[in-house]
Amino acid sequence: NMLSLFKNSAVKRNTMTSVRAFSAQVTQPAPAFEGMAWTEGGFKKISLNDYKGKYVVLFFYPLDFTFVCPTEIVAFNEKAKDFEATGAQLIACSVDSHFTHMEYTKKPREQGGLGDMDIPMLSDLGHKIASDYGALMPNGALALRATYIIDDKGTLRHASVNDLPVGRNPDEVLRLVQAFQ
């Protein structure tokens, strides 16, 4: 079950014998990505190229409908206008389908859903984006809580990856964006 994926993540990680190669390196061009997203009440294919000239904060979370995720994603969403004011676009990403993202936003917050969202929710069903960015768990099941700041020229300026149970602080991410600008 899903809970066992979370509880056993450290054990599975320690049994890995190889290191996955990924192309996301701070100071280098960010890996290109493209995928279907749930955004502005509909499905839309988005890519990193769509945001040329803007900062992008790409943040991964494990799965829709799981613990910590709703409060963390809602907290980022509530700061969307602050990020926009700095010329930055927030993009949430998980290995769920865009259909699951849609259902997650249609479920009210008091029932474990997200409610209406102001930021794109990118689907990484094939796990390629999470893998390219080094955010995929070693067992390949889902993405860790990872945050990437990409500048207006497409250069990766910041990367951080948290283990599953620990969320992130949107105010700190906003501070980092402002510091890089």
Which residues are part of the catalytic machinery? 69
160: phi then psi, degrees, rounded to nearest 5? -145, 145
Handedness of CA 121, 83, 88, 136 (dihedral sign): negative
- Between vectors from CA 134 to CA 121 and to CA 145, what angle results, nearest 5°? 50
Helix (H) or strand (E) run with residue 34 in it:
strand 34-39
Angle at 3 between CA 78 and CA 102, to 5 degrees: 40
